[in-house]
Chain A
Amino acid sequence: MRYIFYPGCSQEGTALEYRDSTLAVLQALGADVQELEGWTCCGASVASVMSELLGFVLPARNLALAEKQANGRDLLTVCSACYTNFRRTFATLAANRQLHQKVNQALELEGLAYQGTLTARHILDVLANDFGPEAIRARVKKPLEGLTVAPYYGCQTVRPYSPFDDGQRPTSMLPLLEALGVKVHRHSREASCCGTSLLMTKPEVGLTMVGSVLEACEGADCIVTVCPMCHMNLDAYQDKVSRLLGRKVQIPVLYLPQLIGLALGLPEEKLGLRRHITPVKF
């Protein structure tokens, strides 16, 4: 299994532990991973608000770089917003030749052209379908028996451009979690919204959204996510949510590769569990 890795901006800062744990798990599974050279921001949710064209040019710039470097490798993303931007760009340009040409007119400036041959894949898809639960189970050194885990997919991991799971009732994490020996806490907010940037721009609304997810996950020992934005929102605002609800809500939030890493017995410095705001204690 060979990949080009597009980390995305948060992997250089607040979500460093997501990157480290992902790379450690992929290495343990025998994947061959190269970082995308010269990558820049995918535009997040911001570029396309500033300008529709910019919202396609920024992802396309990275896709064009990835096409040059690919040589049969898939492009791997760990952030669901980057993932959606790449897939939205691939799908929209494939259906709109004029726009595709315009995007390439912009990229010409950097000596680049996006051919439209490559799109991105999500780490959850890669873990669930390229490696699969059996490959992971075979490498488990410390089964996490006795641990109850609430899966949380969020929105853009599974919709609307994601081909590997159901957009409203996703299940792709279940076999992976079972392979680790944990008990799964199913709940009604698995694919609900974490509030994204509303936590900054409209905190009262964002906190209600985070609160409803955290409440649905109560009873589990931890929540497992696959997106740095979801992670930040669920992990960092638990004090504020507790104040809003008038009672203490405290539940550790792990990235899926961190949880897999624990079961594979990978060293703590690769997993970065101490970097989280809500302490990871089971």
Chain B
Amino acid sequence: MSQSMTINLKIWRQASGAADGGFVAYTVENVLPEMSFLEMLDLLNEQLALKGEAAVEFDSDCREGICGTCGLVIKGTAHGPHAATTTCEVRMRHFHDGETITVEPFRAKPFPILKDLVVDRTAFDRIQQKGGFITANVGSAPDGNAVPIPKTDADKAMDAASCIGCGACVAACPNASASLFVSAKISQLSYLPQGQVERGRRALAMVTQMDAEEFGDCSNHGECEAVCPKEVSIENIARMRREFIKGAFGK
């Protein structure tokens, strides 16, 4: 159907969190433009397996851009050079025959490397546990239409809620700030009537945990928004700041 390509890879390999890592060069032949980037890595791992060499470890699951599991820095950019896509959505047609591509994990101090391209993002879970919820036990909910929500608010909440928690924002930020991720959740719940009661408490608790996890400060670089596969807006960060101040001063 289409011309196959030869791709040269420089992949970060690291046996474990404690071990030293470094780039290793590989060449993959018979790469088709229709393949996804991860299918190209699958092909590499097939070739390695047949030679008895350990596979390059990387995370993926849905392979359609929704679960947030995958995450590689491709040619220096989190999720690759193409805007608004996750790593698993990147197609090989965006690269050319003979090209050399560097592949690295998402790097940030709060995301320790577990092996090769796999990192530990559980810091995000811990932030969420501090307040990324509405306290609503099963059994206590009123009818879904009891409280009308203006469509514009529901839409804004949905825009923020589309965050997939991949961590690209952190990997792209020069300060390794998690502000886009945290602000997306805070914003979502602040737009909804159900989220009002815990609003101040939530912002305070989540931001405090973000700092405790040693994510850096946000200094408005905007790299996070540029790499976000779901195009979550940096405006959420401004909103988070306002929410935090309200929370901190008990308003």
Judge: A and B partners, yes or no.
no
Chain B residues within CB distance 8 Å of chain A: none
